[in-house]
Structure 1
Amino acid sequence: MTSHVYILRDLKNPRFKIGKANKILARARSFRWESIDFHQSLGLRLVSETDAYTLEKILHRTFRLASVDPLEVVASGGRADGASEWFCTSCLPRLLQYLKDNQDLHPHVMVSGGELAELLEKQLQPSQADVAREHLAKEKEARRIEREAELIAFRHTQLEGLRASLKVIHPKIVQELERQKQSRNVVGVCDTGMGSYLVLADTVQLPSGALLWGLKPLSTHYDYPLGSGSIMSGFSQMTWPEGTIFKVELPRVHLHEDSLSETDEIIYEIFREEFEWFNQLKRIPVEWMSAIFPRSLFLSPSSDDHRNKHAIDNVMDALSKARSR
């Protein structure tokens, strides 16, 4: 099996390394390719490892007086591994002459620096597999960027669709709220763990099927691409000879809490004035509303329920005070 003795020039320092390796580039890689001037280096191909070891030792002994201190090699950026195998370039011409004069004693084939540099260039070139992997990675990244751009564009379309839909229903809600203000039916807002409600009331009993709130359930419904919702659609009403009490659900976004979604931010933007007005209204205790509106909304509260009667009186008293202001 053939082997090599290499003579590798340091790129930055006036020294060269004498060593033995079956594959010169593989050995040079252990002390960094970028630190070697391959064009000014050379290799000696011998017929066996034994001949390569012999020539390496002869060259080390012959030119030992030109060796570089290993500590100096390490201090100037060299690796500790093989630090004792570096020699001053001042002896390089004599070494080359020695090899030429003793070709018959140490038969070898010269591997020029140009050949070594060419081998290194080929070594550094990516393989077909590397190229294919890089191409695949670029394709995946391009698809990822494209999908991300599509999602951003679709989200923009969604939000613009939401904004347009809200602007359609906004005037309807504003008109109904203004009507309730003019009728002086607004009592306040009740905040519960399940959400908030606008509380309305009147001192008259409404006929069967009539509602104090004038908008139909779907009147505050909005749609946009792959999304929908309602601003004020859930409601309940109780009526009796002495009057009527009504609650209509408010969107939670009216509180403008932290970490609002993009959707909620647009809803708040469109209904800012109305939401700010809701937050200024009198707060109605949850206990009053839970007594007036039992869980089964289709059952009227018992007429002899003292708790219910007390809650109704409180709401109607709050209505009276609101109307007197």
Structure 2
Amino acid sequence: MTSHVYILRDLKHPRFKIGKANKILARARSFRWESIDFHQSLGLRLASETDAYTLEKILHRTFRLASVDPLEVVASGGSADGASEWFSTSCLPRLLQYLEDNQDLHPHVMVSGGELAALLERQLQPSQADVAREQLKKEKEARCIEREAELIAFRRTQLEGLRASLKVVHPKIAQELERQKQNGNIVGICDTSMGSYLVLADTVPLPSGALLWGLKPLSTHYDYPRGGGSIMSSFSQMTWLEGTISKVELPRAHLRDDSVSESDEIIYEVFRKEFEWFNQLQRIPEEWISAIFPHGLFLSPSSDDHQSKRAIENVMGALSKVRCR
């Protein structure tokens, strides 16, 4: 197996390195390709590793007096790896003459600096596999950018559709709220762990099937591409001889807290006037509403349930105060 002795010139300092390697560029990489002047370097191809080792040792011994202090090599930016194998360029002409004069003793084939530089250039050029990987990477990045742009455009379409749909629903809810105001049925807002509710009441018991809140959830439904919901998504009502109490679920967007989404922001924007008015209403304690609507069902409270009776009295009392203003 052939092997090499290399003579590599330092690019910035007057010194060269004598070493042995089966592959010169692979060895030179360990002390940085960019630090070597390959055009001014050369390689010696020998018949075997033994011949290469022998010639390397002979050259080291023959020109030992021209060796550069390893500490100086490291201090001037050289690698500690093989730092003892550097020699002053002052002896380079005699070394080249020695090789020429002793070709018969150390048979070798010269690898010129031009050949080494060309070999390095080919080494640095990306392979077809590297080019393909880089192209694939660019295509993936382009697809990611394209998908992101598509998502942004679709989200914009969603929000525009949401705003348009809400503007259709808004007049219905505004009209119903105005009707409840005129009738004096709005008691206040109840904030619970399950959400917020508009609390309505009337001292008149409604007949079976009649509702205090005049809009069904589907009447307040809005939709947009791949989405939808209801502004007033549910309601519950209880009626007894003394009157009727109803709770209507409000959208989370009316709270305008830190967790609101883009959709909630648009809902708040369209219903700003109503939501700001909700926040001015009196707050109804959660325990009152929980006692009246224990499971959120259309049930009448038990006649012997003292807690429910007390809660009903409190709500009706709050209604009286509102109507007296």
TM bin, normalised by shorter chain, reads over 0.9
CA distance in 1, matches of 2:61, 2:308: 111
How far residue 147 of structure 1 moved from its aligned partner, in angstroms, is 2.1
Structure 2 unaligned regions, length at least 5? none
How far residue 253 of structure 1 moved from its aligned partner, in angstroms, is 2.3
Q: Deviations over 1:15-60 (max 9, x none)?
A: 1001111211111111111111101101111222222222222221
How far residue 193 of structure 1 moved from its aligned partner, in angstroms, is 1.4
Q: Which letter maps to 1:163?
A: R
2:120: which partner in 1? Answer: 120
CA distance in 2, matches of 1:240, 1:48: 109
How far residue 160 of structure 1 moved from its aligned partner, in angstroms, is 1.6
1:273: which partner in 2? Answer: 273
2:75: which partner in 1? Answer: 75
Determine what percentage of the aligned residue pairs are the same residue: 87
How far residue 251 of structure 1 moved from its aligned partner, in angstroms, is 1.3
Q: Which letter maps to 2:217?
A: P
1:32: which partner in 2? Answer: 32
Q: Deviations over 1:162-188 (max 9, x none)?
A: 121112112221222122222221111
1:157: which partner in 2? Answer: 157
Q: Which letter maps to 1:185?
A: N
Question: RMSD of the TM alignment (CA)?
Answer: 1.8
Q: Deviations over 1:108-128 (max 9, x none)?
A: 211110000111111122222
How far residue 254 of structure 1 moved from its aligned partner, in angstroms, is 1.6
CA distance in 2, matches of 1:65, 1:307: 108
1:257: which partner in 2? Answer: 257
1:184: which partner in 2? Answer: 184
CA distance in 1, matches of 2:262, 2:166: 14
Secondary structure (helix, strand or coil) at the match of 2:135 reads helix
Q: Which letter maps to 1:262?
A: E
Q: CA 1:2–1:299 in 2, change beyond 3 Å: closer, same or farther?
A: closer
Greater Cα offset, 64-73 or 254-263: 254-263
Greater Cα offset, 261-270 or 190-199: 261-270
1:107 aligned onto 2:107: yes
Greater Cα offset, 289-298 or 180-189: 289-298
How far residue 296 of structure 1 moved from its aligned partner, in angstroms, is 6.7
1:47 aligned onto 2:77: no
Within 5 A, what are the aligned runs for 1:151-300?
151-295=151-295, 297-300=297-300
Confirm or deny: 8 A CA contact 2:238 2:298 kept in the other structure.
no
CA distance in 1, matches of 2:20, 2:315: 100
Q: Which letter maps to 1:169?
A: V
Secondary structure (helix, strand or coil) at the match of 1:280 reads coil
CA distance in 2, matches of 1:184, 1:138: 66
Q: Deviations over 1:108-155 (max 9, x none)?
A: 211110000111111122222222222222222222222222222222
Given the two structures, how large is their TM-score scaled by the length of structure 2? 0.93
Structure 1 unaligned regions, length at least 5? none
CA distance in 1, matches of 2:108, 2:294: 104
1:14 aligned onto 2:23: no
Confirm or deny: 8 A CA contact 2:237 2:298 kept in the other structure.
no
CA distance in 2, matches of 1:82, 1:58: 17
1:318: which partner in 2? Answer: 318
Secondary structure (helix, strand or coil) at the match of 2:246 reads strand
The aligned length equals 325
2:57: which partner in 1? Answer: 57
